[in-house]
Chain A
Amino acid sequence: MRYSGLRVFTQGLLGNTGWKPAWRKPAPKAEYDVVIIGGGGHGLATAYYLAKKHGITNVAVLERGYLGGGNIGRNTTIVRANYFLPGNSEFYSHSLKLWEGLEADLNYNTMHSQRGLINLFHSDGQRDAFARRGNAMLAQGDDAVLLSREEVREKLPYLDYEQARFPIYGGLYHPRGGTARHDAVAWGYARGADQRGVDLIENCAVTGIDIAGGKVTGVQTTRGAIRAKKVAMVVAGRSSQVAEMAGMRLPIESHVLQAFVTEGLKPVINHVVSFGMGHFYISQSDKGGLVFGGDLDFYASYAARGNLPRVEQVMEAGMTLMPMIGRAKILRSWGGIMDMSPDGSPIIDRTDIDGLFVNCGWNYGGFKAVPASGDSLAHLLATGRPLEVAKGFRLDRFRTGRGLMDEEGTGSQHNLH
């Protein structure tokens, strides 16, 4: 069924009785060409591009819970292409271009809103670093504008300019940055993949990976054994557990990241804004809630909830920057399990086991990456070669030390990102 404004209108007149489920609920087949473990954003996008761009449709996505119940439905939805390092910058640039055509491509309203993103800076040194980042973004063909303090003030009059502990010197403005509706991205890709024949199998946890003679032959699941020519592990925070089924240890630690949302308010914050002197960033959802977050809790954790010290620190940073939000009531807070890599950059690669592929290491930034990651992994699965924009995301870069992508310049070891 094609979605359109006219259909919404006519369905409204018919009491919305004519809508159909957006995807089937098939039983698993005995064998597939490709099995994708994990029905998050990355797994679903991979299935979609496999079918759409490579004509590979004998594909199953196996999801332990329900589609979109992982980090894809827990993130703060920021979409941007303001990366600095070669390797990252062309990848996120490609992703943002895919985002810009995504709603038309999927025939699905992902509520992608390019409202502009402003990273504030608070010292001369930070200004220089952001000017350099902005130049790298322009060199990549994306957009960046260095704003003075007065120009920031015109756009964000509600910040504390008078007695702030960290005075605002200006901001790096990325007009094409913004937000999208996270669940809708999962649902849109799911529907698109299903329409092209991909089987989306929910409540199906993978419990084992079958390997014979150094080659993957299938998976064991809670819904029986499934044979497969190729298997991709796309399970974000659970990557270490699934890789262990294939006898692998990954350069991944799982950490919890929290987020918060307030009661719905009238429009007040029109951009995505980030504080440069304490980890805090904020945007306003279309429902009106202020959605914000900060740093990781900074210890290995699989609890999808955080600890109080980080809650306090995020609230304090927010109050320092924009005292007006102290009036809003927090409605909810939650956490997601992040697959942290040593250098803070992702991995999309084959493994030493023939036919077994891995996509992980998204840290706290894998939402914006969903389209390009799906495109890249689909290309690798279909052709055996990495997509040009993702060829730096190698699994062996930690062992060899070649091609590390330490975007924040903090080091290439765990717990630094």
Chain B
Amino acid sequence: MRIDCPYCGARDLREYTYGGAAAYLQRPEAEAEAAADDAAWDAYLHLRDNPAGRTRDLWFHEPCATWLEVERDTVSHEIFATRALAGVRT
């Protein structure tokens, strides 16, 4: 498997560390935190769509120290798109 880094180009899987589902980008808002809304936190930390097919997840490219969001297929391992997360506020 090779993943396109926007800075370094297509690089081997060995250079990347997996960071889990892109759901990690949707951190519950401060209100949820204040209300101790455990359903929102449960959804954020534990519950997953876990699709067999197209998914979005987070990968860290070690050589350039960049977090990426990768859109890929969990069955065929095909990579569709990648984008750097630096500066992206969700």
Asked if A302 and B74 make an inter-chain contact with CB atoms under 8 angstroms apart, the answer reads yes
How many CB-defined contacts (below 8 Å) exist between A and B? 73
Chain A residue at minimum C-beta to C-beta distance from B14: A309
A252 within 8 A of B: yes
Nearest CB on A from B78, distance (A): 10
Whether A250 contacts B47 by the Cβ 8 Å rule is yes
Contact: A307 with B1, CB < 8 Å?
A: yes
**B55 CB-CB contact with A under 8 Å:** yes
Contact A413 B48 (CB under 8 A): no
Chain B residues with Cβ below 8 Å from A415 are 18-20
Residues of B within 8 A of A298 (CB): 18
Pick the contact of A300: B13, B38, B45, B74 (CB < 8 A).
Answer: B74
Say yes or no: B45 contacts A398, CB within 8 Å. Answer: yes
CB within 8 Å of B: which A234-272 residues? 238, 240-241, 244, 249-254
Residues of B within 8 A of A252 (CB): 48, 50
**Pick from B12, B21, B43, B74: contact of A414, CB under 8 Å:** B21
A301 adjacent to chain B (CB < 8 Å) = yes
B28 to chain A, nearest CB (A): 13
Q: Which residue of B lies closest to A243 (CB)?
A: B50
A251 contacts which chain B residues (CB < 8 A)? 42, 46-48
Asked if B88 is at the interface (CB within 8 A of a chain A CB), the reply is no
Residues of A within 8 A of B18 (CB): 298-299, 415
In the complex, how many angstroms separate the beta carbon of B11 from the nearest chain A beta carbon?
A: 12
Given that A254-B74, A307-B1, A398-B42 are known contacts, is A299 also in contact with B50, CB under 8 Å in the complex?
no
8 A Cβ contacts from A270-309 to B: 298-303, 307, 309
Does A318 lie at the interface of the complex (its beta carbon under 8 Å from any beta carbon of B)? no
Which residues on A sit within 8 Å (CB–CB) of B50? 240, 250, 252-254, 300
Chain A, range 386-417, C-beta contacts under 8 Å to B = 398-400, 413-415
Q: Which of B1, B50, B55 has the most CB of A within 10 A?
A: B50
Please tell me if the beta carbons of A253 and B21 are within 8 angstroms of each other in the complex: yes
Q: For chain B residues 12-57, which have a beta carbon within 8 Å of chain A?
A: 12-14, 18-21, 38-39, 41-43, 45-52, 55, 57
Query: Which B residues are CB-close (under 8 A) to A398?
Result: 42, 45-46
Q: Is the interface of B mostly helix, strand, loop or mixed?
A: mixed
Q: Is the CB of B46 within 8 A of A399?
A: yes
Q: Which residues of B contact A241 (CB under 8 A)?
A: 52
Hey, which chain B residues are within 8 Å of A307, CB to CB? Answer: 1, 13, 77
Question: Could you say which residues of chain A place their CB within 8 Å of the CB of B51?
Answer: 240
Q: Which of A339-354 contact B (CB under 8 A)?
A: 342
Partner among B21, B57, B74 whose Cβ is within 8 Å of the Cβ of A303: B74
Q: Indicate whether A400 sits within 8 Å of B38 (C-beta atoms), given known contacts A250-B48, A307-B1.
A: yes
Cα distance A307–B46 when bound, in Å? 26
Q: How far is the CA of A302 from the CA of B49 in the complex (A)?
A: 13
* Contact indicator B49/A240 (Cβ below 8 Å): yes
Residue among A250, A254, A342, A413 making CB contact with B52, cutoff 8 Å: A254
- Residues of chain A contacted by B41 (CB below 8 angstroms): 399
**A251–B43 CA distance with the chains assembled, in angstroms:** 8
B76 contacts A299, C-beta separation under 8 Å = no
Contacts of B75 in A (CB 8 A): 301-303
Residues A399 and B38 in contact, CB atoms below 8 Å apart:
yes
Among A252, A413, A415, find the residue whose CB has the most chain B CB atoms closer than 10 A: A415
- Residues in B with CB closer than 8 Å to A249 are 43, 47-49
A125 to B76, CA, bound (A): 41
- Report the minimum CB–CB distance from B40 to chain A (whole Å): 10
* Complex: A299 Cα to B50 Cα, angstroms: 11
- Interface residue ranges, B against A (CB under 8 Å): 1, 12-14, 18-21, 38-39, 41-43, 45-52, 55, 57, 59, 74-77
Q: Which 10 A-B pairs have the closest CB atoms?
A: A240-B50, A251-B46, A399-B42, A398-B46, A249-B47, A299-B18, A302-B52, A302-B75, A309-B14, A415-B20
User: Can you offer 21 A-B residue contacts whose CB atoms are under 8 A?
Assistant: A240-B48, A250-B47, A250-B50, A251-B42, A251-B46, A253-B20, A253-B21, A254-B74, A298-B18, A301-B75, A303-B76, A303-B77, A307-B77, A309-B14, A398-B45, A399-B38, A399-B39, A414-B46, A414-B48, A415-B18, A415-B19
Q: Which residues of A contact B (CB under 8 A)?
A: 238, 240-241, 244, 249-254, 298-303, 307, 309, 342, 398-400, 413-415
